[in-house]
Amino acid sequence: MAIFNSFENGEDEAVYTREERAKWRPGLRALIMISGGIFITFSLMNPLFFPSESLIIYNIVSMGMIVSLVIAYMVVGTEFYARSRWLDPLMFTLLGIAAVILMSALADPANQTQTSFLGMAVINLAIMYVFAALCFIANFRWFLIWSLSLMAVYLVFLAVQPIPIFPRVYMVANVSMFLSFALFVNWVLDYRARVIFRTNQELAAEKAKTEDLLFNVLPQPIAQRLRAGEAVADSFSDVTVIFTDIVGFSVLAKTLSPGHLVRLLNEFFSLADQCAERHGIEKVKTIGDAYLAVSGGTASSGGGAREAINFSRDLILGMREMADRSGVNISLRVGLHTGPVVGGVVGSSRLAYDYWGDTMNIASRIEGAAKHGAIAVSEATALSCSGGFEFSEPELVTLKGVGEMQIRRLEV
């Protein structure tokens, strides 16, 4: 920000202007109402002290001013006002013209007011400068131009008046004092508002980064529930669990360097994340070289078993391409099972949304029964697909900890 209080980024300037002017609407409307009350009060009081013939122009202009204030009150409440800073100098230029007319109307009965036209000019300029300093919202540049232009007009007017030099200098000094004060007030208000705006921007950016990190760990709806102090526990009746791991990873760990092994794992998990996003699959976690995901869970955009199989096929094909590029003989086994699970967040540190139940265990055991580079699914998963895949005939296998179970195989 320079002395003229402006952001280098034009978009930031536009957003700041709109937000700050919108924020000041209640206060500005209050000022307009106060001004209207003052005009009405003077319009009611003046007939008590001035002859009626001298108040005709004054009353006409006063009524016009009151109508103008009503219009200004309505305009201030619009989005057009919030975007259009040029309205400020326009309104106050019209206000200045009206003030001159009003002072001219009261110039004749100066013996009643005990104030000359030049004296009223000093008073009205002072009031206008201070009032304008509070009404030029997020608009210091226009305020500076308008106020200095008004001062120049006043100096030209004063120069042609047949008065001694000392009263002339004294009047200029008085008006200049109020001008300096008004400029300072408007600049400080604008500067402080810009500092707050920039600070809020930085806080919003940091909050967005924090939320991005949080949503990488927890699904967004779950994070919001935790923030609200809710105990997160959910039950799902029909979730397809996907369990996949790298075949012969223990042998690879012995033959590859640690750096090469980590790069290989990172490429595999990154590929799995991309496939999951593409098919609306929810990643649950990684366990060593295994990748656990679900379809139909709390953060899954996919529908169920069909999306889970498409994800698995896509991942296996991607791993084959990766094996060709790296020259490392790697392949995957994938096991799928569909059934009820329980999901939730437990603990108080390193939080994660996890799933539990027999469905999870069975999917893990089915993965162990799958062939290299192929998919094995339970009968429940195959039936959930409603056709469209060329599964093998049901095969009875014995799964550790589960017992005998029918599975189907899908070659990729």
Residue 403 belongs to a domain with what CATH number?
3.30.70.1230
pLDDT in the model for residue 353: 84
Residues 6+ apart with CB under 8 A from 181: 129, 130, 133
Domain shared by 249 and 201, yes or no: no
Residue-level pLDDT at 168: 86
- What is the model's pLDDT at position 223? 80
Cα–Cα distance for residue pair 28/18, rounded to 1 Å? 15
Q: What is the structure's pLDDT at 254?
A: 84
End position of a domain, from candidates 209, 243, 258? 209
Q: Please name which of 378, 373, 374 lies closest in space to residue 362, comparing C-alpha atoms.
A: 378
At 25 the pLDDT is 87
**Domain, as residue range, for 310:** 233-411
What residues in the chain have per-residue pLDDT under 70? 1-3, 42-43, 45-59, 102-116, 300-302
User: Strand 290-295 and strand 233-246: pairing?
Assistant: antiparallel
Let me know: does 293 contact 281? Beta carbons within 8 Å: yes
pLDDT in tens, 73-125: 888 888 888 888 888 888 888 888 877 776 666 655 545 445 567 777 888 88
Contact call for residues 401 and 383 (beta carbons, < 8 A) = no
Judge whether 214 lies within some domain.
Answer: no
Return all residues near 36 (Cβ < 8 A) that are at least 6 apart.
66, 69, 70
Residue 215 forms part of a structural domain: no
Work out how many domains the chain is built from and give that number.
2
- pLDDT the model gives residue 334: 95
Q: Would 289 be classed as within a structural domain?
A: yes
- The pLDDT assigned to 242 comes to 95
> Tell me, what's the pLDDT at 56?
65
User: What is the pLDDT at residue 302?
Assistant: 61
Same domain, 24 and 99: yes
> E strands within 60-115?
none
Shared-domain flag, residues 293 and 145 = no
Looking at the structure, do residues 66 and 98 belong to the same domain, yes or no? Answer: yes
